[in-house]
Chain A
């Protein structure tokens, strides 16, 4: 796949369709694959990486990149195309300046799951017939491929590319996914249990802002949490409870716009399941306003931005809150 992608990128650079490519290169560790811009065939040959650890969604980078001179080639997995559509809908990217090559999606691997097996000092990983051969400074180790699949890919919602200019490989379908199972579990908890669950999770937060910075829905020119004029920028720092509210407020800000790409949880260094907050909103929107998938297209009015006479009444919030 990596080979095919590099060849496609070289071809599009050579025929002048694009003048830049956004893809990925190796990071500090073998499993740290980082988004990168390539301008020449030589750079592509040297650094371009696409493997089971290439999970990063590059669509957010296009907010800035698509405003620059010339077209940029973006390799997008199915889940990333939803993000791009949503950004197009919100006028945050200039879609005309982007050449999208759709590539097959996961399953991607989660290095944390490998480390959880006690495998450390990783220097190389190979997938041979769904067995991972892991080279470490302490020698080679193996583990089944499926045990290392990231949570995000394990509950994949769609293998379909909702926007592309060209595809490498076949397009897939929208999947029946189990992504709301954990949300349901949380809903069935008592209020106190749920409170304890979230207090425990959110208290791990170190406010590194990685979730916000990676989120393709968080593209504000000026984030309210960074804006001294908002009057709230210092609230989160005032005590641990307010600190926890940061994630809840962020979930409100992206409600109805979050495509459930799962990047927030993927990048969280503290492994907080942040995507569950967003999925609760998605599930509620589905049940209150009818099935809606943000980013599915660029035209449908989002339920939270559309007002129709058969919208549910506000009292539903009260009724559902009763335990």
Chain B
């Protein structure tokens, strides 16, 4: 006979304000098998736990149901308490009457009724619980960082510093990311390359760090401590081990009209190229979309001029498989496409640019060698209009609902730099609000307004129209003066919203991590676990988790590294005993479970079985490796015969819960 104890938590007023906890404890006390039912102010407190422990001993309980917050919060607390009182920790079940009940209901009567039902379901389940024992599995002492921008670089450096091997997978030919494209950084106005490139060099020199540039993650298997990752090294048609980065090929290549993506397409590169002077690795890459040799088989100039014979037109994509204990996602961001914002004439006039394009126009390595010239006629612009929040804080489907966070500060930076270098230029900034929280940030913005006399105008630009004289008519409203403005501008700069990189979503699917509706990775807890994903062993670094500036990104990158190091330091981790097992008598051997298992935990073997009529038969049956199984339960759903079952969440337990709820 089961002897079940029920413990209902008030959680202060979190639960007790909407759920009549006394009534719940009373009602659940009458359920079959329940020998004690109590309520208490804070079950998770020391004295609350003691209540549970004492009851286990006094009533010799065979199962415990805690009606409290989500099991994500305190399941472990109560499992440990049960273990301390001599009860197997897996005989504890949590009924979530806070997140799934009191917090979402207003009416006490309905909330109380639902709490009773949830408690009843947990009691029905605990009747069928079996004691379980956890095993251990080893940790591979190597980390993978996906993305080689400043976030990935910082994370990799910190992990390597702690003494662990790190691989960086970067989809572009060089690491560096967006920061490498930026000219100056706020609020100190130091040159981005000057502070980024030393870190890039450090990455290439650190013998613990291995950079897979021009590569992509194509498959992830395994679980925390033991991931198995397939990396596609895309064919760059240049032997990385031979290329010295001399750059001769990039000068001699006859294909001169390839848009240079590093300079946002504002100038051209060759078909064989090195993105920028400080690229790491400093290795050339051939663009197969433009290379004449690859397209028509005629040319071969780069191969002829290469003194080390590094050019290899026959190179193929290469797949390598590596094992990792921890994975850090640092896939970063991109500015959004502006094709839905025709009112700003972005596609009509080359003098309407995005802020990232302006960075390149102002950069010494940019298309104009650092002199700010209008892209259309290469003259000095005398009136420049900045438009903030282009696609940010949008309440329609054109843009993004969130604040891109970095635009206010970089626009102030741009305005200030232009006024500093070209004092004869009038600079207007149109804004909804100016948002400058951050150390020395508001001071920075005030300097732009007060010292540099940038015209900040509260209001939005309605329309930009290219005029026949080459100027741009900017039609805007000044909300404070309550008047319509027309500005004859030479250039318009749009602060385009930022969005997660397109590679993030397929990657999230591979990693079985969660994303929000904007495709930013979701952290395990928004306040208390901001750099971990909800999937164990997967950590988040930089703008892939939400819009961030450089200091914040670096801080988060180091935090993610600290979490990864914490994991890699362990020799083994405790396994989850809630793993699948197959009932061999019912197994059809159909391989459905094997095909859906994301961890490769299921294998098949031919086994001899005794059949009813005293004969024997060889049957193909599934077996689960409990050290590899992560208890996701995909196999139990795929199994057509119901042979596959999950410890702690058995089919019969779930049916019992459903029956209890529908009673």
Contact = CB atoms under 8 A, between A and B. Distances in A.
Interface stretch (A97-105, A204-212, A301-309): A301-309
A231 B652 contact: yes
Interface stretch (A119-127, A183-191, A216-224): A216-224
B365 interface: no
Nearest to A305: B595
B588 A220 contact: yes
A90 B655 contact: no
Interface string A196-239: 00000000000000000000000111111001011110000000
A194 interface: no
B147 interface: no
Contacts of B586: 220-222, 227
Contact of B509 (A90, A231, A253, A309): A309
A307 B585 contact: no
B595 A301 contact: yes
Contact of B638 (A230, A254, A305, A309): A305
B506 interface: yes
A219 B592 CA distance: 14
A92 B505 CA distance: 37
Contact of B620 (A91, A223, A307): A91
Interface in A20-70: 67
Given A90-B591, A227-B586, A305-B592, A221 B641 contact: yes
B298 to A, nearest CB: 37
A306 B655 contact: no
Given A222-B641, A231-B652, A91 B509 contact: no
A309 B220 CA distance: 12
A91 B640 contact: no
Contacts of A254: 640
Contact of B652 (A221, A223, A229): A229
Contacts of A220: 586, 588, 640-641
A231 B595 contact: no
A229 B641 CA distance: 12
B510 A309 contact: yes
Nearest to B590: A90
Given A229-B652, A230-B651, A305-B596, A253 B590 contact: no
A231 B585 contact: no
Chain B binding surface SS class: mixed
A92 B595 contact: no
B591 to A, nearest CB: 6
Contacts of B656: 231
Interface string B567-608: 000000000000000000111111110011010000010000
A285 B215 CA distance: 33
Interface residues on A, range: 20 to 34
Q: Which of A227, A253, A305 has the most CB of B within 10 A?
A: A305
B617 interface: yes
Contacts of B595: 301-302, 305-306
Contacts of B617: 67
Contacts of A231: 651-652, 655-656
A92 B598 CA distance: 23
Q: Which of A92, A219, A220, A304 has the most CB of B within 10 A?
A: A220
Nearest to B653: A231
Contacts of B592: 90, 305
Contacts of A91: 589-591, 604, 620
B620 A221 contact: no
B642 A90 contact: no
A29 B655 CA distance: 45
A92 B651 CA distance: 24
A221 B588 contact: yes
Interface in A280-323: 301-302, 304-307, 309-310
A256 to B, nearest CB: 9
B620 A222 contact: no
Contacts of B506: 309-310
Contact of A219 (B509, B587, B588, B618): B588
Interface in B608-663: 617-620, 638, 640-643, 651-652, 655-656
Given A91-B589, A231-B655, A224 B642 contact: yes
Contacts of A301: 595
B23 to A, nearest CB: 30
Contact of A221 (B505, B509, B585, B596): B585
Given A90-B588, A92-B590, A307 B598 contact: yes
A66 to B, nearest CB: 12
B655 A221 contact: no
A305 B594 CA distance: 9
A309 B507 CA distance: 8
Contacts of B591: 90-91
Contacts of A67: 617-618
A187 B604 CA distance: 40
A252 to B, nearest CB: 10
A133 B391 CA distance: 77
B587 A221 contact: yes
Contact of A230 (B509, B585, B620, B642): B642
Contacts of A229: 652
A217 B641 CA distance: 11
Nearest to B655: A231
A154 to B, nearest CB: 30
Interface of B: 505-506, 509-510, 585-592, 595-596, 598, 604, 617-620, 638, 640-643, 651-652, 655-656
The list of the 10 closest CB pairs from A to B, nearest first, reads A220-B641, A90-B590, A309-B506, A305-B595, A309-B509, A222-B586, A231-B655, A231-B652, A224-B642, A91-B589
27 contacts: A90-B588, A90-B590, A90-B591, A91-B620, A92-B588, A92-B589, A92-B590, A220-B641, A221-B586, A221-B587, A221-B588, A221-B643, A224-B641, A224-B642, A227-B586, A227-B642, A229-B652, A230-B651, A230-B652, A231-B655, A254-B640, A305-B595, A305-B596, A305-B638, A307-B596, A307-B598, A309-B510
